Structure 1
Amino acid sequence: MLNLSNILEDSARRYPSKDAFIFLDTHISFAQLNGAANQIANGLKAKGIKPGDKIALSCLNVPYFPMIYFGIMKAGAVVVPLSVLLKRDEVAYHLSDSDSKAYFCFLGAPGLPMLEEGYAGFQHASQCEHLFVITAKPGDPSPIEGLSTLGSLMKDQSPAFPTVSTSAEDTAVIIYTSGTTGKPKGAELTHSNLFLNAMISTGISDIALEDVQLIVLPLFHIFAMTCLMNAGVYKGATSVLLPRFDAEAVLDLMNKHKVSVFAGVPTMYWGLLNYENTKFDLGEISKNLRSCVSGGASLPIAVLEGFEEKFNVEIFEGYGMSEGSPVVTFNQKETGRKPGSVGTPVWGVEVKLVDADGKEVPVGEKGELIYKGHNVTKGYYKKPEANKVSLKDGWLYSGDVAVKDEDGFYYIVDRTKDMIIRGGLNVYPREVEEVIIKHDAVSLVAVIGVPDDQYGEEIKAFVVLNEGKNVTEDELRTYTKEHIAAYKYPRVIEFLDALPMSATGKILKKELRKS
């Protein structure tokens, strides 16, 4: 038997008074976190929630997230984390598609009306019986009359609860994919999937009991959930929570709490690299910061090298996806590191690259990355047809194109869906982006294919310039043409002040395609 909440119970026994989470001036110990999760589990049981029921959670990076997350699991129910950016129709879809019986929704923040959208979506999900409002303080009333609050659910409940015995193969979390094509799908991740991935993540980030990690990646996303929250709780480390990325706020917390472990997506490293204010002593921050990891998207080598020089710390990059719990490959201290690669397969995971017929391709050739092991999802919830496409003989077909070198290191080339076919020739946007970003005037770039009557698709680059730098479209086109095959350089270049990004910091190419 295995329940992922056992990792919290163990740390609460071992380190009851140690800080588990810090948010602003609030310090939550492991014993307090465990007690609150038990109160939530008792409250859910009193409301008729049964093992296996699905419960949705929309919450920013505040201590209520781990309390509710582990409380749901203690009750034997399944957590359905939702993006805080979802609009009402999307909320209704996710609640209905997941068969959620209850829904925890945070109030929101300035410019982010989470409860307003969440409540509207809840009203169109007939099977969802309960909506619990997560208020700023437990005793605060709901701003919408008639709705229960998290505080009222926990009120008078015991801080002790006999955790429901679940099987290692029972579903613990249904995590929704980003839905770049069609409607988002819910990947069912088991207690075993998440537990083993959290254990592996502690080795990747080299996190230990005495470490302080900063979590600015959204907790509803599998990267932060597994590699930071669950890994930190498992190890007994302290996690500092920040709801939204801001370079100055990140550096301030790094300085204040002597942060030693940081994980981010490439745009976060880009933001920290380009932050020029001198109010912080980078030497002091660098002295404490000893472990950095990157995932979620490919990290441009120029950003990696610039950050490492500025902060005097190595970034270990890896590859994963929601369906992989998430970690699949990583640059690991034991196996070495190659900048630009996503490393080698993690323990217990097998990876290979295949062609369109499913046959393994030779070293150095492009192929779709597929993998199998303890990290692979049980499948997409209620999506048998999607399972037939993505899951074959235990292998998960990622949809990502990669290359393996002679040392067994993998390099992500691009998404198969992002590949541009120009005049019958394949162009991978990442390859073009890596060239353009090396120009000293370029700060950030995204490349897509746009319809073209002559070639089928033409290559277009969206470019954000470094402050105080200038380059014309013709100059940048000429520069790129000198460094890449003639059919690959962008014929169209558009300069923007910023690129559209998701809540997790990924560049939203689907938004660029609409422009």
Structure 2
Amino acid sequence: MGNLASLLETSAEKYPDRTAIVFGDSRFTYAQVNGAANQVANLLASRGVQPGDTVALSCPNLPYFTIIYYGILKAGATVVPLNVLLKPREVAYHLADSGAKAYFAFEGSAELPIGDAAWEGFQATDSCQEFFLIKLDSEAPAPLEPPEYYAPLVAEQPPTFDTVDTDDDDVAVILYTSGTTGQPKGAELRHRNMRDNALAGKDLFGADEDRPDTYLCVLPLFHSFGQTVIQNGAFAFGGTVVMLPRFEAEPALNLMLRESVTFFAGVPTMYWGLLGALDESFDVATLAKNLRVAAAGGSALPVDIHRQFKERFGVTILEGYGLSETSPVASFSPYGQEPRVGSIGVPIPGVEMKLINDDWSDVPDDPDAIGEIAIKGHNIMKGYHDRPEATDEAIRDGWFRSGDLGRKDEDGYYYIVDRSKDMIIRGGYNVYPRELEEVLMEHPAVSLVAVIGVPHESHGEEIKAVVVKNKDHDDVSEDDLVAWGKEQFASYKYPRVVEFRDELPMTSTGKILKRELS
């Protein structure tokens, strides 16, 4: 069972003709996905990729993502999934930091030119040797000039491959997560971390390969939630993944109806969107009859969304909690029980949670006590890639400190009280101010900057930069800085709001008092 790719291989062996992936009018059986993943593994081996090497992947929710993901794993390499919104500068950073030897990227669209950003980032990274561009036009001839096209190359490869027998503790996936210390860090997740978290679906949701679920995949697969709970969770039990590249409520509802979706997972804004799109034209009764599980994470669900969803769909939304560093699921609301609204549930089987103080000492067992959530179990990462000091700060005696403040009621249910001090959650994406501040300080007009989150009706929080200007740059406006930031950062990251001030509030030691900014 060592290699995470065994989730695909076992299901392909047992259920070769079962539908593994649905995308538009295309349907792929487990045998087809397994064969295509073998071709990717052969391509990588032919280009000198060795077990233990890292291979990056930039791709939205398309069958290519899953095929290449498992192909990389079969070759014994480590997958580095990248956010498709990254700009060239950010791509180059991730490739260099992870030591990626090869890189697969989908071409994208005019609105989101993933392939262009990927190619530019690749060219700026000496350590990355191979680049494969995934184009929808699979008939396109191999170009005389780089980049190389994915389809003609894999078509030449045999659909059989002897999967590399990895160790349980080898790194399967590196998921990049920002921190309050600036640049994103790569969380190294072992094969057993990812595999055991996917197999937890049996206990958490009653997953059963004899009665497989059909999963709607709207959560980005490059994020840990979609990757583990949807993709790997489905493949662990011979389920079907119905892919939608970006969430839009009406198409999602139509797909749920057309494909008889039984399992939906999303962030709170997705549930809000589904409820808002329901009208008389939708056969809500059939949707509700099919839907077996609704799972949520990312941030707390409003009480009213819980109530409305239960009324319309007859299903209780199960809330959970986790981080990239925890593969990601750490706690979940127990299946079949009434939810405690606002709670992130209880630790999943094989996982422990507790509340700690800054010095790692335990918080007294009192329902009113607040402490930082610490997590221990089969889901905890190996560490941060090439960052031993950051790893030592985050993990002690097997316990990982989350940076999130919480409390625990008398029945052992956990509640998030506050996010890590500085983190901003914009539309379900984690944004860490320090990374933005460091780049904004490179602008000649910026003398000092503090990035904060401000309340926003639809995104939860919006990103705001409070700036003290250099005196000789009076001609630079707030709009100029917004436009500059848009060029530097992925679209979910850049500050939409810039405010100029003469000074920033500070402590006696010179630390900016962000709580006094708004």
Band of TM-score, shorter chain: 0.7 to 0.9
Contact 1:330 1:346 in 2 (8 A): yes
TM-score (norm 1): 0.81
DSSP 3-state at the match of 2:72 = helix
TM-score (norm 2): 0.81
Contact 2:203 2:349 in 1 (8 A): no
Partner of 1:435: none
Structure 1 residues 418 and 179, CA gap change in structure 2 (3 angstroms): closer
> 1:301 deviation in Å?
2.0
Partner of 2:285: 283
Matches within 5 A, 1:4-15: 4-15=4-15
Q: Which moved more, 1:84-93 or 1:204-213?
A: 204-213
Contact 1:132 1:150 in 2 (8 A): yes
What is the aligned counterpart of 1:319 among 316, 321, 340?
321
Unpaired runs of at least 5, structure 1: 420-428, 431-443, 450-455, 466-506
Unpaired runs of at least 5, structure 2: 434-449, 460-490, 500-518
Percentage of pairs with the same residue: 47
Contact 1:180 1:510 in 2 (8 A): no
1:377 aligned partner, one-letter code: M
1:248 aligned partner, one-letter code: E
Partner of 1:292: 294
Deviations 1:431-468 (A, max 9, x none): xxxxxxxxxxxxx9x9x99xxxxxx9999643359xxx
> 1:344 deviation in Å?
0.5
> 1:360 deviation in Å?
1.7
Contact 2:422 2:452 in 1 (8 A): no
Structure 1 residues 413 and 63, CA gap change in structure 2 (3 angstroms): same
What is the aligned counterpart of 2:230 among 224, 228, 231?
228
Partner of 2:60: 60
Deviations 1:56-84 (A, max 9, x none): 00001111111100000000000000001
Contact 1:135 1:142 in 2 (8 A): no
Instruction: State the distance in 1 between where 2:257 and 2:327 align.
Output: 31
DSSP 3-state at the match of 1:52 = coil
Contact 2:320 2:329 in 1 (8 A): yes
Q: What is the RMSD of the two structures over their aligned residues, measured on CA atoms?
A: 2.9
Establish whether residue 405 from structure 1 lines up as the match of residue 441 from structure 2.
no
1:273 aligned partner, one-letter code: L
What is the aligned counterpart of 1:333 among 335, 342, 348?
335
> 1:205 deviation in Å?
3.0
DSSP 3-state at the match of 2:79 = strand
Partner of 1:389: 393
DSSP 3-state at the match of 1:398 = strand
Matches within 5 A, 1:68-467: 68-141=68-141, 145-179=145-179, 181-209=181-209, 210-333=212-335, 337-362=339-364, 363-364=366-367, 365-418=369-422, 461-463=455-457
2:356 aligned partner, one-letter code: V
Q: Which moved more, 1:252-261 or 1:203-212?
A: 203-212
Aligned positions, number: 447
> 1:510 deviation in Å?
7.8
Contact 2:316 2:339 in 1 (8 A): no
Deviations 1:7-36 (A, max 9, x none): 111111111011000000100000000000
Instruction: State the distance in 2 between where 1:301 and 1:236 align.
Output: 34
> 1:280 deviation in Å?
1.2
Partner of 1:497: none
Partner of 2:485: none
Deviations 1:132-183 (A, max 9, x none): 0111143334689322122133122111111011000000000001456511
Instruction: State the distance in 2 between where 1:376 and 1:232 align.
Output: 21
> 1:304 deviation in Å?
1.9
Structure 1 residues 461 and 76, CA gap change in structure 2 (3 angstroms): closer
Contact 1:205 1:261 in 2 (8 A): no
Contact 1:351 1:370 in 2 (8 A): yes
Instruction: State the distance in 2 between where 1:146 and 1:513 align.
Output: 39
Instruction: State the distance in 2 between where 1:159 and 1:408 align.
Output: 49
Structure 1 residues 320 and 464, CA gap change in structure 2 (3 angstroms): closer
> 1:511 deviation in Å?
3.9
Instruction: State the distance in 2 between where 1:14 and 1:6 align.
Output: 12
